[in-house]
Amino acid sequence: MANAQRKPLIAGNWKLNNNHLESIALVQKLAFALNDADFDAAEIVVLPPFTSLRTVQTLVDGDKLRIGYGAQDISQHDKGAYTGEVSGAMLAKLGCSYALAGHSERREYHHEDDAIVNAKVKAAFANDITPILCLGEGLEVRKAGNQVAHTLAQLEGALKDVTAEQAARLVIAYEPVWAIGTGEVATPDDAQEVCAALRQRIGELYTPEVSRETRVLYGGSVKADNIAGIMAKADVDGALVGGASLKPDEFVKLARLGEEK
């Protein structure tokens, strides 16, 4: 089981799904199902599209829900002539606790490189938002056996000028690109190999104490029937979930870490 010092985090990345009305329905279903007093297995976070954040804020605040929320992206810029961008200050004003930085779909379709991802990580910290830094290799890199070196290089690029105090609060999500949306889940050992290497490198870049605080998630075709095996690994502190986070029953089972209740 992952280290008791680090509370498990289950984050649902809704991607380009759910308008604000659909978002109300999904959050209400989650809130109803997770409302029992003893529910404390994990910290639960949803990452809706920007257009739903205000709606989710209103629900969470109004009903004091034990569901956190955040954004799927954050601008590297504070303000100005950057059409279409949403700043960290705007997200903080909406009560966002988290923002993804460097999701592989942003890296691929929007050409985000390590320097941009680094700027986004720092923009999040500057606004008291916890970045969920997404890393992971594509299929060719995996086939060549270079997944650890590739992912550690992404980590170092993303953490330039990030302080030890910030690194301790950071969430990292190891998401091998070949496992995203493909049903091709990494084995628990695959996940552990890279998550352990990421934690070790955090220890080398900062201190071992910092590396014991940083939470490292796995993402890629996580479902209720495979999460328990992944969570059993020492360096995996939770999951970043795509498709399964859109199905309330499935996400509730994930929030319970796959255990029947």
Ligand X SMILES: O=C(CO)COP(=O)(O)O
Annotated binding site for substrate: 13-15, 181, 221, 242-243
Give me the residue label for tokens 């960290």: 88
In whole angstroms, what is the distance from residue 185 CA to residue 202 CA? 25
Q: Which two tokens stand for residue 261?
A: 């209740």
Q: Which of 159, 165, 11 lies closest to 97 in space, CA to CA? A: 11
Rounded to 5 degrees, φ, ψ at 219 are -140, 145
Catalytic residue among 105, 112, 175, 193: 175
Is the CB of 205 or the CB of 228 nearer to ligand X? 228
Return the DSSP state at 42. Answer: S
Kindly state the smallest distance separating residue 99's Cβ from ligand X, in Å: 13
Is the CB of 123 or the CB of 177 nearer to ligand X? 177
Residue ranges of the annotated binding site are: 13-15, 181, 221, 242-243
Is residue 120 within 8 A of residue 76, CB to CB? The reply is yes
Is the CB of 210 or the CB of 239 nearer to ligand X? 239
Give me the residue label for tokens 């938002």: 129
* Annotation marks residue 175 as catalytic: yes
Kindly state the smallest distance separating residue 261's Cβ from ligand X, in Å: 22
Rg, the chain, Cα only: 17
* Annotation marks residue 103 as catalytic: yes
Kindly state the smallest distance separating residue 48's Cβ from ligand X, in Å: 13
Write out the residues near ligand X by the rule CB under 6 A: 13, 103, 175, 180-181, 219-222, 240-244
Kindly state the smallest distance separating residue 103's Cβ from ligand X, in Å: 6
Return the residue nearest ligand X (CB atom).
Answer: 242
Is the CB of 181 or the CB of 208 nearer to ligand X? 181
In whole angstroms, what is the distance from residue 176 CA to residue 139 CA? 8
**Residues labelled catalytic:** 103, 175
